Amino acid sequence: MLKIKLFPAFSRNYRMVLAFCAFLLIFSVSLGYAAWMEDPSLAKQVIDQLVSKKFSALAVKMRATNWLGQLRIIFFNNLTATLLIIISGSLLPILPVLMGIIPNGFMIGLMAGFFEYEKVLPKSSFFLSLLPHGIFELPAVLLSATVGMVWGARNWRSLFKDRTFFSFSSHFKKGLSFLPLIIILLIIAALMEVLVTPNLFASSQFS
């Protein structure tokens, strides 16, 4: 029977993969900011395309509802993304890095350069404005990637070593034990993003 704990055992494998993911996130943020500094016009085109394809519809929904509706939209959007990261990792361990860690970090770096270049927000204030929800959302993303990568690595090891997928369910149960913690982090992050981040963002803008 699966026992759900808020803080499940965090073995050495999980700690090592989490540290690796954290390093890649920081590195990709640096790459995103460096890409902006290298060619602002090209980076701005990338941001405009991402905003029009990914965030425009979301922004319309956010403006059309109250704070509780915004909370629900943000939470389920982030929950869907983290679940996809976990599931993708179970199939191929490198996918959480390619689908979650690097794109998120690169986009953060690009946005920091964009706001500074457009005289909207200094990069120090930009990162400060991300802090209230980022300290909860980013660990949830990192933990999701870690769970997916460890789960996938164990699946492939079982396939090649034992020539079986019968251990797939046991690996799934171990990974699932982290889901309550991920959900709690995402709920807190959504609350911070709706109630705190906009005010902090507005107060940190260039005068």
Distance CA 82, CA 185 (A): 11
pLDDT digits (tens, 9 = 90+) for 84-123: 999 999 889 999 999 899 999 998 998 888 888 777 777 7
- The whole-number pLDDT of residue 177 equals 84
Q: Is position 1 within any domain?
A: no
pLDDT band at 1 (very low <50, low <70, confident <90, very high): very low
What type of residue sits at position 87? I
User: 151 is written with which tokens?
Assistant: 């789960």
What type of residue sits at position 195? L
User: 185 is written with which tokens?
Assistant: 């982090």
The parent domain of residue 61 ranges over 12-203
pLDDT band at 162 (very low <50, low <70, confident <90, very high): low
Q: Are 105 and 25 in contact (CB under 8 A)?
A: yes
pLDDT band at 40 (very low <50, low <70, confident <90, very high): confident
Mean pLDDT of 129-144: 91
Instruction: Please give the tally of structural domains in the chain.
Output: 1
